């Protein structure tokens, strides 16, 4: 582990290589982490990954694909290199419904299963990254700084968990780079804040794009999806607040930087769902946020003249730099089972 010393640490991964599922689980257990964090790779996913690798290396040739199966043959190059007889000219396949490999004869099936075990049942760098994200995302207080990869701000109180993850990754031959964030390390602090703003803007922008696509396609936004997106906005808001508290940063200023067209996360921070839905119903909140709140909220809306709604309307009409008292706590609705 390279350490460039504390409020917390910026953590990211490097140098990961493909490893077997068993080795991933063994390293998790040895590091004091739950081996179940390494889930079994789906059989269809493994087959697809393996066939792409085998095809790229010229070891197999595609015969056909139907809705029910992929059909392949060992390539002439592979058969000649391994001095295989005519019986290996037969076909093998992947049955999509049964999630299983089959072949025209037992010898070919044994050979193909060996190839797919070698190329398919591996955790690639992206799979190990997902394991790390699964571990960190389950722990309160850690803040993901990028949409992709595993780049996190780890508060000082979570250092023990981070050290277990470091041991896990190093046990797989990878490397973790940690950069402490302290009062004197302003360059790292400012860079971490910038990364957070860019990541949240990306995630919020994705929600906006999804709402626009629904409108263009003429499809309705379902109540379940609207509630999930409202809950996601609450999670993004908590992400910003947690990081701001950890670094003694200005949460209002961060939210102003995150503001995107059609979706103002600062308004979500100031008002409850029913208040924003009332503003949307009155035509004061439009775009993606208006779509989400009007679909997600169930119940009687407060009137536009109610104190809570009027206070939120002041926020809408105020300059972005104006500091206003909170008029409510953004609460995500309970999702249906």
User: Looking at 143, 166, 183, which one is the last position of a domain?
Assistant: 183
Inside any domain, residue 326:
no
Tens of pLDDT along the chain (337 residues) come to 544 446 788 888 888 888 888 899 999 999 999 988 887 777 777 777 777 777 787 777 877 888 888 888 877 777 778 777 656 667 888 888 887 888 887 877 887 788 777 777 678 888 899 999 999 998 888 998 887 788 999 998 899 999 999 999 999 999 999 888 876 778 888 888 899 999 999 999 999 999 999 999 999 999 999 999 999 999 999 999 988 888 888 888 898 888 888 898 989 998 999 999 999 999 999 999 999 999 999 989 999 999 999 988 887 776 554 443 343 334 444 334 3
Centroid of chain to Cα 222: 22
Tell me whether residue 156 is in a domain. yes
Residues 259 and 288 in one domain: yes
φ, ψ (nearest 5 deg) of residue 90: -70, 170
Neighbours of 223 (CB within 10 A): 14
Task: Count the Cβ atoms, other than its own, within 10 Å of residue 33.
Answer: 20
| Domain housing 86 | 43-120
E-assigned strands of the chain?
Answer: 2-3, 8-14, 19-20, 60-65, 69-74, 91-95, 100-103, 122-123, 143-144, 152-155, 175-181
Which tens digit of pLDDT belongs to each residue from 190-233? 888 899 999 999 999 999 999 999 999 999 999 999 999 999 99
Q: Are residues 254 and 152 in the same domain?
A: no
Per the structure, the count of domains in the chain is: 3
Same domain, 71 and 132: no
* Model pLDDT for residues 299-310, shown as the tens digit of each residue: 899 999 999 999
* Domain co-membership, 93 together with 241: no
């Amino acid at each position: 582990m390279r350490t460039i010393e504390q409020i917390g640490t910026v953590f990211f991964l490097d140098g990961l290589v493909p490893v077997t599922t068993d080795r991933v689980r063994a390293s998790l257990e040895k590091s004091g982490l739950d081996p179940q964090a390494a889930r079994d790779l789906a059989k269809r996913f493994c087959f697809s990954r393996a066939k792409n690798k085998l095809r790229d290396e010229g070891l197999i040739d595609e015969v056909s694909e139907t809705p029910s199966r992929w059909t392949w043959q060992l390539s002439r190059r592979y058969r000649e290199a391994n001095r295989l007889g005519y019986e290996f000219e037969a076909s093998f396949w992947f049955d999509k419904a049964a999630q299983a490999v089959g072949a025209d004869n037992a010898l070919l099936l044994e050979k193909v299963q060996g190839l797919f075990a070698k190329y398919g049942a591996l955790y690639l760098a992206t799979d190990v990254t997902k394991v790390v994200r699964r571990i960190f995302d389950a722990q309160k207080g850690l803040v993901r700084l990028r949409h992709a990869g595993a780049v996190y701000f780890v508060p000082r109180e979570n250092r023990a968990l981070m050290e277990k993850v470091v041991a896990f990754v190093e046990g797989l031959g990878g490397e973790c780079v940690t950069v402490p964030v302290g009062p004197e390390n302003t360059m790292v602090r400012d860079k971490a804040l910038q990364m957070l703003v860019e990541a949240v803007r990306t995630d919020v922008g994705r929600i906006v794009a999804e709402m626009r696509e629904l409108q263009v396609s003429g499809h309705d936004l379902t109540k379940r999806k609207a509630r999930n997106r409202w809950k996601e906005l609450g999670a993004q808001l908590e992400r910003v607040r947690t990081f701001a508290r950890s670094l003694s940063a200005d949460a209002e200023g961060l939210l102003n930087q995150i503001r995107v067209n059609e979706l103002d996360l600062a308004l979500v921070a100031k008002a409850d769902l029913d208040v924003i839905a009332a503003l949307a119903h009155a035509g004061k909140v439009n775009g993606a946020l208006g779509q989400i709140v009007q679909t997600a909220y169930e119940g009687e809306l407060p009137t536009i003249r109610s104190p809570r709604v009027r206070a939120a309307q002041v926020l809408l009409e105020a300059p972005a730099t104006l500091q206003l008292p909170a008029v409510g706590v953004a609460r995500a609705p309970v999702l249906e089972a």
